[in-house]
Amino acid sequence: MTHKKIVILKGSPREKGNSAILAERVADGARSAGAEISSFYLHSMDIRPCDACEACHENGGKPCIIEDDMQKIYSAIDQADVILIASPIYWFWLSAQTKLCIDRFYAYAGKKPNMLAQKIFALVFVFGDSDVYTSGGINAIRSFEDMCRYLGAPIGGILYGSADEAGDILKQEDLLNKAYQFGKKLGASH
């Protein structure tokens, strides 16, 4: 039996904000099932935008030639079974920090085999509005599903909640319990 390895990509500038809290609760559940977690706080990292050089699709070597902190994430992803994206909703989509990181997954997409097709993707997000449609959360779900379909990667689940001030999500015990159970499922050994 091998322990699952989970990479968490936290896309809020608020290090202890609502999406990070939700992601940590997922991580707690996953750890309880024996998983190992590597978390990345994207806002503190030097992640440059994809510059469309296409080198990733021309060489068989490392995923991307841009020498920035994304290399640390690529290394963690190499080892991972599960990739959990955790983001606030900003302007009706995932945050810019999250988008920068996701764009750089392009480096895997043209490779054969496409390594991300073997990873399970999961998403947690938080919005300030009360509704998943008017908040723009629906756009995050749609784009996430499109990304997974394009990569051929299985979806491990999507969890979201509504909260505005940092830490407000802590008042939602039901949601936090759901996050813990979600983590347990993601972290269950193969």
Does residue 99 interact with ligand FMN by CB under 6 A? no
Q: Taking contact as CB under 6 A, which single stretch among the options 31-39, 89-97, 107-115, 142-150 is the one that binds ligand FMN?
A: 89-97
- Measured from the CB atom, the residue of 2 and 130 that comes closer to ligand FMN is 130
- DSSP 8-state class, residue 104: T
| Binding residue for ligand FMN, selected from 41, 74, 92, 180, defined by CB under 6 A | 92
Contact 127, 175 (CB under 8 A): no
In whole angstroms, how close is the CB of 181 to ligand FMN at the nearest point?
Answer: 20
Q: At what angle do helices 173-187 and 18-32 cross, to 10 degrees?
A: 50
Measuring CA to CA, how many Å separate 135 from each of 92, 96, 132, 153?
6, 16, 5, 26
Q: Does 89 bind ligand FMN (CB under 6 A)?
A: yes
- 13: which DSSP letter? S
Residue with Cβ nearer ligand FMN (15 or 54): 15
Of 17 and 63, nearer to ligand FMN (C-beta) is 17
| DSSP letters for 127-167 | ESSSSTTTTSHHHHHHHHHHHHHHHTPPEEEEEEEE--STT
Q: Is the dihedral of CA 100, 162, 133, 144 positive or negative?
A: positive
Each residue 138-167 as x (binds ligand FMN by CB under 6 A) or -, in order, gives: -------------------------xx-x-
CB of 83 to ligand FMN, least distance (A): 18
Should residue 90 be labelled a site residue for ligand FMN when binding is judged by CB under 6 A? yes
Rounded-to-integer distance, Cα 126 and Cα 162, Å? 6
Q: Which of residues 113-132 bind ligand FMN (CB under 6 A)?
A: 126-129
